[in-house]
Amino acid sequence: MRTFAARFINNQNREDMFNFKVSYFAAALAAVFCVAAFNNMAVSYPDGPPANRCGLYGTQPTCTACHSQASGTNNATATISIAGNPASYTPGQVYAVTIAGTGGSTYGFEAACVKSTGGATAGTFASATGTETASGTVSGNSITFIRQSTPKTSGSWTFNWTAPTTNVGSVVFYGAVLAANGTGSSSGDKTKTATLTLTAPACAAPETPTGLTTTNITATTATFNWTAVSGAANYTIQGRKVGTTNWVTIGPVTGTSKTVSSQLVACKSYEWQVKASCSTGGASSAFSPSATFTTTCKTDETMANTSSFSLSPNPATTSVSLNYNTNTQNQINIRVVDVTGKTVLQQTATVVEGENSLVINTDQLSAGYYVVEMIDGTTKMHEKLLISK
């Protein structure tokens, strides 16, 4: 009986010892998992932050919505860069974008790309290792975000962005990087934001316009016409009297015709050319070959008693040319009057038979409307003048 009791007690002790070891191992393993989980919470949303945490538009939330910031100087950094450092984008082209940060022990991020005008999403993101995309509505715009899918200790992510397939104007990348301190809490971390702007793509120069014709020709007016050019946003015309050297420029013109009425005089031959531009200030074609025409002539009886003048350019800035065609040589008086009727400028000149061009210095005149009065001894004529500065 004693032997049986001793064996029973011995076996019971061994079983208790085994159970104790198993319990101890399980507790230790659980502690390891708890520590790992605790450290993973250094980023509040390790599998990706909520949408709209990248400081979009410069007014929307960042990582600080969930992470309180460390006291003292925020020495963290955040940058957005694109391979090749392009200043503008090419529609439909794929670019490698890198967002990076320093100043922490573990990192997270979120970024978006939007149109500068209107704020809608621009282009598309392709998620790479450690990243994912998400969507949200901000200020009425449906926005695609890209963010970390798991925290990283290196603080750098590279992913592809495909530019819009058409010219949507300039675009802006907004990004926020969380530099966490690794303590396992959402306090004492650092957040930095960054932006990067790509300007609208440069447009290619259109073809040179063709099909130039001149219609509705009178003694002092004519209409210039040409064939539309693919890719042209506007056109510029230059014209002059045949045999002279200086061109007068008109434009930009958005259509494919232009009526000219203030630079022509009767019974004269003129030539004009036109070029196409892909945008205002953008690339342009060469000027076309010249088209020529001759204004109609007035009868001798009418010409004997008629004089006329025009102003160019109008609007003017620092000077304006008074173009005067007369049948006789005489002296003329020129007076510039403001809207109150006050004479602000006055001069005299001697003109010869035919076409005359006199320069009036207007750099001392304020911006606004004026009336130019010209008296040739027998006839008083007026033209409106706009000074633009």
Whether residue 352 lies inside any domain: the answer is yes
- Distance (Å, rounded) from C-alpha 161 to C-alpha 137? 20
Find the angle CA(291)-CA(293)-CA(296) to the nearest 5 degrees: 165
Residue 386 lies in a domain: yes
Tokens for 17? 């010892």
For residues 61 and 194, state if they share a domain: yes
Strand, helix or coil for residue 285: coil
What is the pLDDT, as a whole number, of residue 147?
Answer: 97
Residue 230 covered by a domain: yes
Q: What CATH number did the domain enclosing 189 receive?
A: 2.60.40
The angle at the Cα of 110, spanning 54 to 51, to the nearest 5 degrees, equals 75
CA distances from 174 to 75, 192, 321, 377 (A): 20, 11, 52, 71
State the pLDDT at residue 43: 53
Same domain, 209 and 226: yes
Asked which of 151, 182, 198 is the last residue of a domain, the reply is 198
Last residue of a domain, one of 297, 320, 354: 297
Instruction: Looking at the structure, tell me whether residues 280 and 214 fall in a common domain.
Output: yes
Residue 2 domain-assigned (yes or no): no
Cα angle vertex 382, ends 381, 383, to 5°?
A: 135
Reported as half-sphere exposure (CB side, CA atoms, 13 A), residue 294 has a value of 7
Among 173, 198, 223, give the residue marking a domain's end.
198
Q: Does a structural domain hold residue 37?
A: no
13 lies in some domain: no
Q: What is the CATH number of the domain that holds 366?
A: 2.60.40.1930
Whether 284 is covered by a domain: the verdict is yes
Using alpha carbons only, what angle is made at residue 26 by residues 24 and 28, rounded to the nearest 5 degrees? 70
What CA–CA distance (Å, rounded) separates 268 from 255? 26
Q: How many domains does one find in the chain?
A: 3
Are residues 83 and 132 located together in one domain of the fold? Answer: yes
Q: What is the pLDDT of residue 41?
A: 39
DSSP class of residue 284 equals B
**75 and 166 fall within a common domain:** yes
Residues 172 and 216 in one domain: no
Are 276 and 319 contained in the same domain?
A: no
17-53 pLDDT, tens digit per residue, is 444 443 444 334 333 333 333 334 345 567 778 999 9
Give residue-wise pLDDT tens across range 188-202.
889 999 999 999 887
Same domain, 180 and 232: no
Q: What amino acid is encoded at 44 in this protein?
A: S
Claim to verify: residue 155 and residue 271 sit in the same structural domain: no
Asked if residue 30 is part of any domain, the answer here is no
Helix (H, G, I), strand (E, B) or coil at 38: helix
| Residues 135 and 65 grouped into a single domain | yes
Q: What pLDDT score does 280 carry? A: 66
Tell me, yes or no, whether 273 and 305 share the same domain: no
Same domain, 63 and 184: yes
CATH number at residue 226: 2.60.40.10
Structural domain boundaries enclosing 235: 203-297
Whether the bond into 315 is cis, omega within 30 of 0: yes
> Which residues in the chain show pLDDT less than 70?
1-45, 70-71, 262, 280-281, 298-307
